[in-house]
Structure 1
Amino acid sequence: MQVVSHPAREGGISYRPDIDGLRTIAVLLVVVFHFHLFAGGDSGFVGVDVFFVISGYLITAIIRQQVGAQRFSLVGFWAKRLRRLAPALFVVLAAVLAYGALRMVQADFEQLAEEVIATQFYVANIYFWRNVNYFGLQAGSIYLLHTWSLSVEEQFYILYPLMLVLVLKFAPRRAPLILLGAALVSFALNLALVGTKPEAVFYLMPTRAWELLMGALLTWAPRPRHHMLAQLLGVAGVILVVSAVVGYTADTRFPGAFALLPTLGASSLILAGAEAEAWSTRLLSTSPMVAIGRLSYSLYLVHWPINVFASQELGDGYTLGWRVAMMALCFLVSVLIYRWVETPFRDGSLMPRIRHLVKGYGAGLVASVALCATVIATHGMPQRLPPDVARMGAFANDRPSDRCPESRTASEAARPALCSLGAADRPQEWLVWGDSHAWAAQEAIDLWLKNTGQAGRFAFMHSCPPLWGVHIPRGGTACHALNDAMMATAVQDPRVRKVFLVSTWHQGAGWLATSPDRHLNLQDSLALFQRQFDATVRELQAHGKEVYVWEPLPGARAHVPRRAATALMRGEPARLDFSFTEYREQTDFFFQALERNRPYIAGSFSPSQVLCRAGACASVVDGDPVYFDSGHLARSGSTRWAQALAAQMSGPPVLQSRLMR
């Protein structure tokens, strides 16, 4: 293999082709991970950590060299970052918005506009931290999720040069110690908060800065004096990165201490790269590795939206062959962007003067923000869609109000704010206790209680089933605390006579644990569900409470408003419904527990009795989606569900054998 070696320089420092090769490793880890090309390839996210170390190293090397030569300029530094990052990003965002205008329903287009604004101002990491949650954005439908790492780097680029220049001016000999201290503080925050605030630790710059500072500290590290030392560093670097890739999964509590493997691995490879004859340096400096490394920024920008759009367009047909084809398309598009956008802006062929660059960037920013603001203000520009498509797409926002607050933290859950439901002048004898499906059904339950002259109180937590004594993996102790508090309220409050357990119950199939730090396998999770369902129902019944259970909703194969609207647009069937057989197979573990506990249960409510006819469980009824996503009840159907509750809950429990038709 040919090894690239030439004297090109970046920002005044000697060009190192091995670092472009390391960029290749990083971007391929991320891209292969996101396209799910290999079974078990769930750890490619560590590629971002490799990128952070590279960025910290290069930025510090550039600043130190220019400060030493007394020609460093903050304006010049930021202008170079702008020239390097902004043009390609503008092109990708424009293409994404164009696709959205043509293919997205209102709620999705509005969400995309918000993401574009957050990305343009390099606060996407903060936006996703605030919005990626159980009932906010979901990873598979976030069109610019990958830009969180660009925002972390850009925030670092804004603050770090100011600090480093001051340190180099007033305490140059202590600079490594000062940066080491800052890195240790950031790392300590990361360790302290990863268990209780994992999203914040993952997305925010203060808990990620240590990775960039680790790269920065490498600029003070001595070059390996012996060839063998460089060889060993290369071996160590490969072992550390490979260990992270092989050993980590989507359940790994990351970053935390686990981020040390990829960051130390990248650091070792950068140190080894100072020796041109080291085997790792020669491998990373080969022509293919360098070529892909130069494309890494454009490839990183385009791969995620192409993957998400293809997944939404093809649905269940997004097979391995299509994923490989889309990955190839990503390479083609990145080559075009690198050749016609990145290169001419970076070498100054386009807008060579800083003031022209700034004016062009400002004009583009204003135009982009104006367009996105219009999309947001009009709630997704429904007028661009045919009326029937716009009507169907509007159901994505058909959610209940937020009048009943969620118990989010362990402290809130220990003293949940119970929300009143039903008739205001009646005793609150019902305690409604559940997860996000209880939240989605709250208006139907409220209307049912009002219509039948009853009242109660309600508390919920997303993804937390109403089961006494269970934890949700990586969910902290909040779920356990809420269930403890609700059980205590149920058994100790004399006003409570009836308890309604409302949930999807699907958490039992692999999403329950005996502690927040442990992830059980499917068999153990199902066994825990059976034990704690029994314990919950029987404890309540033993204290004289009437127990009622909301059975699982059948759900749909995909996001109902989006898929149904897209099907209308294309003139094809939506293919959303599960068969009744599929529904029973998916929820068999629940019905086993339900039937076993019939002597302790006063009644159950069966959504499948309402939705499942002729062997299929409908996701659209009378032209209206049953769900605002793939499984949570749409608000507009509350009257229908209140009537069904009145019909079923006033009589004897419905035996499931009667429903199999």
Structure 2
Amino acid sequence: MSFRHDINFLRCFAVLSVLLFHFEVTAISGGFAGVDIFFVISGFLMTKIIFQGIDHGSFSLIKFYISRAKRIIPALAFLCLCLVIIGWFILLPTEYRQLGKHATSSLVFLSNIIFSAEAGYFDTASHEKLLLHTWSLSIEWQFYILYPLLILLFKKLVGAPQLRVTLLLLTLALFLYNLFVNYVGDGSQYFSLLCRSWEMLLGGVAYLYPLKASKSTRAMLAYIGITGLITSIFLVDSSYQWPGTMTLLPVLATFLVIFADHKDGRIFSLKPFNLLGNISYSVYLWHWPIAVLCVRAFGEISAIHAIFGIVISLLLGYLSFIFIEQSFKNFNNSLKLASYSLVSLVTVLVVTVSIYLVNGAPYESRFAKNIIVADQEFLNREPRKGRCLSEKATSSPRCTYGPEKSLPDLILIGDSHASTMVNAVVKSLPSDSSVLFIAQAGCPTIKGVTLNNSNAESCRSFIDNELANIQQNYPHIPILVVNRWSYYISGKLGEEAGARITLDDPNIGFQKGFNQALEQTWCSIADNSRVIFMTPTPEFPMSMPKNVARMLLDGDFEAPFVSMASYSQRNHVFIEALEQLSTSCNIETVNVTQSLCKNDRCFGTTGERPNYYDDNHLSEWGARLLVPQLTKLLN
């Protein structure tokens, strides 16, 4: 296979884009599209290898898989082993167990599935996952496994002459499927093999339909492609659905460069570009853990930190390329290579699986008890949350807490913040009391508004169905309403990008419209039932368990708090609406600051133990602080 300097240039451009984006160079808002460039390149090269092998009668599935393993596994396994060793010295027990889980999923090329399952409302921040970037390697490996099998199957079914057209139609079909998934809005497309495959197949189309054109035409197409690539990393940002229609810009631009096959492009032959292209895989492997560790060490990535991180990433990538990639590339005995690769992979897998399965127990013995208690608060959540808290459903499982009765003694309704309170509510009532729990994560209990995300329709249906059910089947039953109102009104703390809801009537101001929507939702229900609203829980800019555990580890613990002034400022829209609701509809209020705040400060801990399992959800330990207040109100 003749060496393509233009493809090496694309590798250089792709890894540089990702590098600058992850080290937070502000102008490179679309640097994440570098991964899409890699996908197109992979599709082209794999198609070329497979079809040339088939045409010459020399294609072997086993040899194909070994060559891919030779390319990907050694450097990845070495990275995982290094991170496991480094993690022993710097990670908390829950973080170390998570690293074991992620390393295992990366080495068996299922990390895209794992990260997709983890992504969501309760997800750990991305800058705390050392191997998050391996999702793309898992997608590529899954493609490598399935693609040659698919080609051989299609060759048998439609015949060699129709194979090119079949793959072209498959590319189009998968792109349309990607758009359909975006339209449905289940949020699964980013880590999905099916939604990414069209990008790799389009790279294959560039090989299957070679361009027949003059040098000048090839040059023009290549430079149009480069212009498109440069435009994409500045124009695109994370607000777009990805992959989606905007993904066509970097993908088609990459396609044009490969399709043009412009051999005389001087820019493609420049040594710095070729060097970075050669080491791009190893640089990609190392850059993200370096970025994560920079955030961990410095709290943010400044210009100096970015320069330092990029230089270290390039250096480690170069060393990995020379001593790992090149060593295995020059190993010509396939049987021995496969044996060594397998032994290395199994060794690292055993280590990482062991870390995950033993739950970090030997590791925990290195820490003081107060550090372990703080760190483990991350896991101290309502045990039935996974089953009883709805996720993008149109109705609730309607779990009962306490003894089963024909009618509950109280209905607790809301979002994920309601799930944090359910056991505290049960403890606040007499022992023979029953609580009906109805909640959907990220869904405010209010009509007349629409969520500004993919959960909009299911949330609206959920609220309509459940409130109608309450009015019809549970009249005169007291209702406690618990939501994270500050998030819907102002966005995430520290990222106040505006409301996450849109009023159905846009012709009135937000405060007035929100007040009216809340009244129209609850006043008619309050005519027949006692309705109690809980004020929002104070929020913090960081995860309490990890932050507190790290402070204790460093010996500089100071109880985190937010001031009452900042709490009031963040929640003023809802507090005003609640005051009006209380007056007009005789609705009662549980003011959580009476239990969670003291001397104008709302603390994130009781002593050295976190009251939260993240930055805004009370843990079971924290929720218990509200039991005396709830007991007095509910009894």
TM-score, length-normalised on structure 2?
Answer: 0.90
Corresponding residue number in structure 2 for 1:342? 325
Cα distance in 2 between the residues matched to 1:44 and 1:509: 30
Cα distance in 2 between the residues matched to 1:356 and 1:26: 33
- Does residue 406 in structure 1 map to residue 386 in structure 2? no
Cα distance in 1 between the residues matched to 2:29 and 2:420: 31
Is the Cα contact below 8 Å between 1:537 and 1:601 reproduced in 2? no
Structure 1: unaligned runs, 5 residues or longer: 1-12, 513-518, 651-661
AA aligned to 2:439 is: F
SS at match of 1:336: helix
Corresponding residue number in structure 2 for 1:617? 602
AA aligned to 1:564 is: V
Deviations 1:35-80 (A, max 9, x none): 22115x4422221111111001111112223333333322222211
- Does residue 120 in structure 1 map to residue 102 in structure 2? no
Could you tell me how far 1:289 is from its partner in structure 2? 1.7
Correspondence for 1:63 among 50, 53, 68 = 50
Corresponding residue number in structure 1 for 2:469? 489
Q: CA 1:242/1:465 → structure 2, altered by over 3 Å: closer, same or farther? A: farther
Deviations 1:359-402 (A, max 9, x none): 22222232223222322232223223333322221211111112
Q: CA 1:213/1:570 → structure 2, altered by over 3 Å: closer, same or farther? A: same
Corresponding residue number in structure 2 for 1:220? 208
AA aligned to 1:51 is: F
Q: CA 1:586/1:326 → structure 2, altered by over 3 Å: closer, same or farther? A: farther
Corresponding residue number in structure 2 for 1:420? 400
- Does residue 389 in structure 1 map to residue 368 in structure 2? no
Aligned positions of 1:77-226 closer than 5 A: 77-165=64-152, 171-196=159-184, 198-226=186-214
Corresponding residue number in structure 1 for 2:550? 566
Is the Cα contact below 8 Å between 1:23 and 1:293 reproduced in 2? yes
Could you tell me how far 1:330 is from its partner in structure 2? 1.3
Could you tell me how far 1:124 is from its partner in structure 2? 0.9
Corresponding residue number in structure 2 for 1:657? none
Q: CA 1:574/1:360 → structure 2, altered by over 3 Å: closer, same or farther? A: farther
SS at match of 1:501: strand
Cα distance in 2 between the residues matched to 1:601 and 1:464: 24
- Does residue 433 in structure 1 map to residue 375 in structure 2? no
Q: CA 1:33/1:475 → structure 2, altered by over 3 Å: closer, same or farther? A: farther
Correspondence for 2:425 among 445, 449, 465 = 445
AA aligned to 1:560 is: M
- Does residue 627 in structure 1 map to residue 612 in structure 2? yes
AA aligned to 2:350 is: A
Corresponding residue number in structure 2 for 1:5? none
AA aligned to 1:312 is: R
Could you tell me how far 1:581 is from its partner in structure 2? 2.2
Corresponding residue number in structure 2 for 1:326? 309
Correspondence for 1:310 among 277, 282, 294 = 294
Cα distance in 2 between the residues matched to 1:328 and 1:552: 44
Is the Cα contact below 8 Å between 1:608 and 1:617 reproduced in 2? yes
Cα distance in 2 between the residues matched to 1:285 and 1:467: 61
AA aligned to 2:382 is: P
Cα distance in 1 between the residues matched to 2:484 and 2:117: 25
Corresponding residue number in structure 1 for 2:26? 38
Q: CA 1:224/1:157 → structure 2, altered by over 3 Å: closer, same or farther? A: same
Is the Cα contact below 8 Å between 2:6 and 2:262 reproduced in 1? no
AA aligned to 2:312 is: L
Deviations 1:532-559 (A, max 9, x none): 4532334322340433221111122311
Cα distance in 1 between the residues matched to 2:314 and 2:590: 52
Corresponding residue number in structure 2 for 1:646? 631
SS at match of 2:533: strand
Q: CA 1:36/1:406 → structure 2, altered by over 3 Å: closer, same or farther? A: same
Is the Cα contact below 8 Å between 2:420 and 2:623 reproduced in 1? no
Corresponding residue number in structure 2 for 1:577? 561
- Does residue 251 in structure 1 map to residue 239 in structure 2? yes
Corresponding residue number in structure 2 for 1:53? 40
AA aligned to 2:286 is: V
Is the Cα contact below 8 Å between 1:468 and 1:532 reproduced in 2? no
Could you tell me how far 1:429 is from its partner in structure 2? 5.0
- Identical residues among aligned pairs (%): 26
Deviations 1:184-236 (A, max 9, x none): 23222212222335443221212221111100111122334123322331343
Is the Cα contact below 8 Å between 1:465 and 1:507 reproduced in 2? no
- Does residue 465 in structure 1 map to residue 453 in structure 2? no
Cα distance in 1 between the residues matched to 2:345 and 2:558: 38
Is the Cα contact below 8 Å between 1:501 and 1:549 reproduced in 2? yes
Corresponding residue number in structure 1 for 2:335? 355
Correspondence for 2:518 among 527, 536, 542 = 536
Cα distance in 2 between the residues matched to 1:406 and 1:322: 41
Cα distance in 1 between the residues matched to 2:278 and 2:78: 18
Q: CA 1:347/1:617 → structure 2, altered by over 3 Å: closer, same or farther? A: same
AA aligned to 1:488 is: A
Is the Cα contact below 8 Å between 1:67 and 1:165 reproduced in 2? no
Cα distance in 2 between the residues matched to 1:246 and 1:181: 31
AA aligned to 1:462 is: A
Q: CA 1:318/1:38 → structure 2, altered by over 3 Å: closer, same or farther? A: closer
- Of stretches 164-173 and 284-293 in structure 1, the one that deviates more from structure 2 is 164-173
Corresponding residue number in structure 2 for 1:659? none
Could you tell me how far 1:252 is from its partner in structure 2? 1.2
Could you tell me how far 1:441 is from its partner in structure 2? 1.8
Cα distance in 2 between the residues matched to 1:531 and 1:51: 47
Corresponding residue number in structure 1 for 2:506? none
